[in-house]
Amino acid sequence: MRVLGIDTANLTNTIGLIDGDRMVTDFAWEARDNSLQRIIISTDLVLKRAGLTLAEIDGLAVGIGPGSWTGVRVGVTVAKTLAYAVNKPICGISSLEAIAYQARSASILLCPLVDAGRENVYSAFYRARGKTLAMEGDYYVGNIKGLTERVKEPALFLGKPAHLYRRAITGELGDLAGFGSPSDTSSGCVVALLSLTRFAAGAADDAFSLVPLYLGESLAQALLRKKETEAGDE
């Protein structure tokens, strides 16, 4: 199955193409230019490198975050538009899962981290299951201490925030904490590879209803809750 993978959730934007489990080509650029036009131009470049047209791929996969709100939103919009234009199935892939996938050979619990701002992180726990990953529990949004309190066994922390907070994590967990690559950028091919199992199971997303993975309370929600609380105190 030929799948085009698009991920614009991180500091580096990536687009890749796979054919089955074979990585055909991948392209990356700095997220300072994550405009819709640049994503489309880069998609065209990847397809030309592979000698294919968009109509000749079998499906699309897109990183849905958590990550850069603007980047994710634009990337998802482009992927949905392309899928609709050529009537191809689409799968949304969590950025946390994509980070964890790069350490799938590890036999211990995987804990990818993405910066959530204000000394908070997005995270989740995964275990390798052959060529796939199984998520355990729910997504986490909060500070490092709250995350480490959930860890009761050896775990491999992944992504740049894991190294940024390495001292705090080690201070709480000691020898239970291990650390993988500081990179939090997955390739477009990784996003595409993660979609294969879902495509095979007929579990593609609806191109109209697919949205970015927003974890935690939005600023608008926070301000509304604050107003309601203040009004109740009067």
Per-residue pLDDT of the chain (234 residues; tens, 9 = 90+): 999 999 998 888 999 999 999 999 999 988 776 678 889 999 999 999 999 999 999 999 999 999 888 889 999 999 999 999 999 999 999 999 999 998 999 999 999 999 998 899 999 999 998 878 999 999 999 999 999 999 999 999 999 999 999 999 999 999 999 999 776 667 899 999 999 999 999 999 999 899 998 876 444 444 444 444 445 555
Helices (H), 33-101: 36-50, 69-86, 95-101
- Residues 52 and 193: their CA atoms lie apart, in Å, by 18
CA distance 203 to 195: 9
Which token pair is 191? Answer: 């996003």
Query: 64 near 91, Cβ under 8 Å?
Result: no
C-alpha span between 8 and 40 (Å, rounded): 12
The SS3 assignment for 9 reads coil
For the chain, domains (ranges, CATH) are 2-95+185-221 (3.30.420.40), 103-179 (3.30.420.40)
**Region label for 215, one of left (φ > 0), alpha (ψ between -120 and 50) or beta (otherwise):** beta
